[in-house]
Amino acid sequence: MIIMCCKRRLVRVRFIMSPMKSSLFGIVLLCSFSSICATAKRIPPRPVPPAVADGVRYSAEGDGKDSYVVATDEASGKTLWRVKVFHTRIKFWRGEEDNQWLFISDLKLAENSLLVRDEKNRCYSIYLNARRVSKAPCDNVFAPQEPRH
């Protein structure tokens, strides 16, 4: 209730919302807040520094569902090859898709292979001559990181 003064008379003005107007207001309010929450996305993955050896740069790429290692010639910038390291299966019953995405978090060269670690601390080895990927133990190769659940 608001009290207003007009020509020396106090006038009481009441704001009475009909039930229909109040429910419409509630729906608009709910939609505005839910759209803010619905646009909340996962934290972007941190950048992965590339590994370089013999004039070849090995870098991580991916969209959260498929993760790749790309070999690029340092001198020309030409892509030499690209290999899929892992695929993340999206399960609709586990919530939003972007919260299930998984990215490569580390790369490290070791002899004739490239060691790759994902955000869940799972490790893979890519044999550079054959470009073959296999699961590998991490064995203190990488610095500890907090796994993404």
The whole-number average pLDDT for the span 36-57 is: 82
Per CATH, domain 51-136 is 2.40.10.480:
yes
pTM: 0.69
The confidence band for 111, taking pLDDT boundaries of 50, 70 and 90, is confident
* Start-to-end Cα distance in the chain: 51
* Domain boundaries along the sequence of the chain: 51-136
C-alpha–C-alpha distance, residues 80 and 133, integer Å: 17
Greater pLDDT, 105 or 35: 105
Task: Give the pLDDT score at 18.
Answer: 63
Beta-sheet pairing, 66-73 with 79-87:
antiparallel
The whole-number average pLDDT for the span 113-131 is: 94
CB distance 125 to 136 below 8 Å: yes
- Sheet of strand 56-62, all strands in order from the earlier edge strand to the far edge: 51-53, 56-62, 66-73, 79-87
**Over 60: is that where the pLDDT of 36 sits?**
no
Burial class (CB in 10 A: 0-12, 13-18, 19+), 142: middle
Q: Return the percentage of the chain with pLDDT > 70, whole number.
A: 72
